[in-house]
Amino acid sequence: MSKNKYLMVVAGMIMQLSIGSIYAYSKWIEPLSKELNWDAHDTKTAFSLAICFLGLTAAFMSKFAQKIGPTKAGSIGAIFIVIGLIGSSFAVKWSSIELFYLTFGVLQGIGLGFGYVVPVYTVVKWFPDRPGLASGIIIMSFALGSLLASFIINPLYTSVGLSNAFLILGIVYGICMLLSAFYLANPVAENTSKEHPTVLTAKEIIKDKRFIALWLLLFLNVCGGIAIISKAAILGEEVVGMSATQATLFVAIIGLFNGLGRLFWSSISDKIGCWSTFMIFLTVNMICFAIIPIAATNSTSFQIVTYIIIAGYGAGFSTMPSFVKSIYGADNYGQVFGYILTAWSAAAFVGPILLGLTHEITIFYLFSLLIGIALLVGFWLKKML
């Protein structure tokens, strides 16, 4: 059966929307703390584990996922998401934070890894002339998944209870991912691109200075953004005194800008190139992190600066796929991109830890410094291109 490339985009978006709910995790922290007396810091570990195993799965299972094809790989992702969220339901029911780490963090994280890379490397192959835009649309959907979830989580657990909320989301997201996986497929011409493709080994990839530079670019850009996302609702309440309702809207708008930033900057990269795009949004984010302590004196200015930062944070994810493909080619794209996503795994722990070093708003100067280092890495990479 012939497949439509635009419906392929829709299928990829559905899968990313389903797994993107992980970015609304800050909405779970308060009910978990209230109902189960779990410490907010300990609860955030589940989020870090989920992102960590997303990256590890993307790195070490991407070759396997490409070998078995997007339908089977996407289905595996759906199964792990279902097991992870249903398992989280039992963890909440039995008040076991260790089981919550295993199910919400590890098992769901594996599902997130499959669900993230499969639609990205599949859909991009259908749009060889606009890889930035294609990856941007797909990865934008991941961010918009958090926007959707931020409005669903509160009324869901209020009406059916915390345990049942995880159960329902597991079933719904699992069904959506399976439907998406059944449609996803590689273009027929994709297998005839080269008679003898040059495929790099894992050792060759990780020793390549260009790979190291790309990894550092993503890691340094992600640290600050993911730190904000991990406790966005709490930041809104503690830093500028938002109400619970305002904090919910704050988290939702963060998800919106995360998505819009991915689409906007990836489209720009198709016109001016990936390197130039990276350097522009990194510069913008370095400035924004530096002025957050000043902007925090006013709720509106704090939110505006935060939204700009999150747009740049999302830009790194949407621009990186076409950046990797432009450097390493289609034959190595999937594997290299998977390894680079381990930077996301590392940042998922480092970013929140750095944010937790102090309750002082001046901690954001540190994140500005990290982005400044990223700019230096960018100039280093430019010499190798």
Q: Is the pTM of this model over 0.75?
A: yes
SS3 content of the chain, % helix, strand, coil (to 5): 90, 0, 10
Residues 6+ apart with CB under 8 A from 172: none
Task: Note whether 317 and 261 are within 8 A (CB).
Answer: no
Residues 6+ apart with CB under 8 A from 95: 36
Task: Note whether 70 and 184 are within 8 A (CB).
Answer: yes
- CA atoms within a 13 Å half-sphere pointing along the CA-CB vector of 216: 18
Instruction: State residue 233's pLDDT score.
Output: 78
* Residue 341 per-residue DSSP state: T
Distance CA 113, CA 58 (A): 5
* Residue 231 per-residue DSSP state: T
Region of residue 67 (phi > 0: left; psi between -120 and 50: alpha; otherwise: beta): alpha
Distance CA 293, CA 290 (A): 7
**pLDDT tens, the chain, 385 aa long:** 578 888 999 999 999 999 988 988 888 888 898 889 888 778 888 988 998 899 899 888 888 888 899 999 999 999 999 999 999 999 999 999 999 999 999 999 999 999 988 998 888 888 877 777 777 788 888 888 888 888 898 899 999 999 999 999 999 999 999 999 999 998 876 444 445 557 788 788 889 999 999 999 999 999 999 999 888 878 888 888 888 788 878 888 888 898 888 888 888 888 898 999 999 999 999 999 999 999 888 889 999 999 999 999 989 988 888 899 889 887 787 788 888 989 988 998 899 889 888 878 889 999 999 999 999 999 999 999 8
Residues 6+ apart with CB under 8 A from 242: 236, 250, 299
Q: Helix, strand, or coil here: 37?
A: coil
Helix spans in 101-201 (H): 108-125, 131-160, 162-183
Instruction: State residue 19's pLDDT score.
Output: 92
Rounded to the nearest angstrom, the gap between the alpha carbon of residue 383 and the centroid of all alpha carbons in its chain is: 29
